[in-house]
Amino acid sequence: MKIETKGFRVRPGEKVNLKKWPTVGKPICATKQEYKELLEKHTGQLSELQQLFYASNRYALLLVFQGMDAAGKDGVIRHVMSGVNPQGCEVSSFKQPSAEELEHDFLWRSTQRLPGRGRIGIFNRSYYEEVLAVRVHPELLLHEGLAEELRGDKNIWKQRYRSIVEMEGHLHRNGTRIVKIFLHLSEEEQRRRFLERIDAPEKNWKFSLSDIHERKFWKRYQKAFEDCLRETGTHNAPWFAVPADDKDNARLIVSQIVLDTLGDLKMSYPRTTSKRHLELMAIRKRLLKQ
């Protein structure tokens, strides 16, 4: 079964109203067993494509995951990428910037974690926090060491959108393919998941009082996400707004998006030269004699 993902792709420059974007869709699979089998099929295909991706060594792949707290970013990454060889994949989580990171421009710390050719980089949150969390809490700019005229510039967010788009364009021109996933969670589903984290002792560690604090700013976050999706989605670095209330559906949709992205690349295993072929045949004869 191939899942159609075009409907989740945000068109470049499209005005986004998240109230009209679904947080839940029709179940892709009728049963839990069917879901497990399809996800296993997807992870198997990803494993094969990743091996080819690594061997061809022509592109890098950056997967960016954003969403509200409890949107399921960790679960999607864990389940979808479970079949990928860890040697060719690296997950980076971006939390509060360190003192060293604050001494640089807002893109510096994520630039250090960009994947090399043949590798898949996964950002669990990313440089986009600088136009999301920081926009919702502009007082955080005071800690970033910016000159007063820069902090007070009314166009600071547009300038940051421009910096991001230009950076992603540069990466694309140099062989990095970028896919950005916004896990679109409803406020009610977040509340339910928070209660589950409180009620289940093994999930208590996932819950923080700051999570409740941030719920007060739900509308501000939705506005920040709407502007971000509109201003930074491009043909070469698209945003996908994936309904996240149903975790199983979200994982299948994301896995299909990654499969499609890798499948669209022109990849092949390195060809063996005539000289190398003769060397291998000579080695083979020696091994057969042993």
Q: Is 1 exposed, middle or buried (0-12, 13-18, 19+ CB in 10 A)?
A: exposed
- Band the pLDDT of 85: cuts 50, 70, 90: confident
Superfamily of domain 6-289: P-loop containing nucleotide triphosphate hydrolases (3.40.50.300)
> If you average pLDDT over every residue of the chain, what do you get?
94
Which string of DSSP letters, residue by residue, matches 209-221? Answer: HHHHHHHTTHHHH
- Band the pLDDT of 62: cuts 50, 70, 90: very high
User: Which tokens go with 113?
Assistant: 């974690």
Position 154 scores a pLDDT of 80
Instruction: Tell me the C-alpha distance between 82 and 63, whole Å.
Output: 15
Asked if the model's pLDDT at residue 147 lies above 90, the reply is: no
- Domain locations in the chain? 6-289
Q: What would the pLDDT profile of 86-133 be if each residue is shown by its tens digit?
A: 889 999 999 889 999 999 999 999 999 999 999 999 999 999 999 999
Q: What would the pLDDT profile of 13-45 be if each residue is shown by its tens digit?
A: 999 999 999 999 999 999 999 999 999 999 999
Query: Sign of the CA dihedral 242, 245, 248, 249?
Result: negative
Lowest mean pLDDT among 167-181, 205-219, 222-236: 205-219
Asked if the model's pLDDT at residue 284 lies above 80, the reply is: yes
Position 142 scores a pLDDT of 87
Q: What would the pLDDT profile of 164-177 be if each residue is shown by its tens digit?
A: 999 999 999 999 99
* pTM metric for this prediction: 0.93
Lowest mean pLDDT among 39-48, 50-59, 105-114, 194-203: 194-203
Instruction: Tell me the C-alpha distance between 220 and 210, whole Å.
Output: 16
